[in-house]
Each structure stands twice: as C-alpha cells, then as structure tokens.
Amino acid sequence: MHLSSLQLACAALAALALSAAAAPPAQTQHHVARRSFFNLQCKGVYDAAIFARLDRICDDCYTLFREPQLYSLCRKDCFTTDYFKGCVEVLRETDQLELFKTYIKQLHGADPGI
C-alpha cells in the first residue's frame, strides 16, 4: 500500500500538531523555575539562565548518585550548602566555582559562604 503525497503531507501535519499540543509551553517551565527560586529561599535577583545552570549541577549530581535527598540538599538554601560545593567537586567543575559563587550571590542576595 502506497501513500499519496497528499496523504503523507496530512500525516506529517497531524504529527506536528500532536507534538506541539503535547509539548508544555515555555512559559509554564519559566513559572515552575521561578516558583522553585522562591521555594529555595532565594532572595536575590531571579535569572532563568543562571538558575538553570546551578540547578543542572544538582541534577547531574543526582543522576550520578541516584539519591533523591542529595538533589534537595544540593539546592537547599539557594545552593549555599556544602552539598552544592561537594557536587561541584564530584562533577569536576571546581574551575567554575568562582563563577558559581557569583551566580549564587546574585540569586541568593548575599555572599554564599561556600
């Protein structure tokens, strides 16, 4: 059974429409991250890119150890715990630590002390 070019075009459009409907809107992801920013007791200036970069450290650390509490402890108090620093070390990103401290200071609103 061969499909005509019109049938193929319709099938492609239907697949595209379904994938667009299933994908969460970018705005929703932004609101979730912003809510997480406040839940972590961050009192500084919210920056989505910076928040995502620091959160990725904790996510990668969780992926490495598969310990759910580690993810929460890494993010606790707006990334200012020793767990965050430990994750940076384990992930071998210590060369970025000063940059991360600057990021944390912006998000946390004070010197991170890590």
Pair of tokens at residue 108: 């946390």
Task: Work out the mean pLDDT of the chain and round it to a whole number.
Answer: 76
Residue 14 counted as domain residue: no
pLDDT (tens digit, 9 = 90+) per residue, 22-46? 444 444 344 445 567 657 778 899 8
Please list the ranges in the chain whose pLDDT falls under 50: 1, 3, 5-32
Is 78 within a domain? Answer: yes
pTM above 0.85, yes or no: no
Domain that holds residue 90: 43-109
Query: Is 59 part of any domain?
Result: yes
Distance in Å from the first CA to the final CA of the chain? 65
Scan for tokens 């459009």, then name that residue.
13
Number of domains in the chain: 1
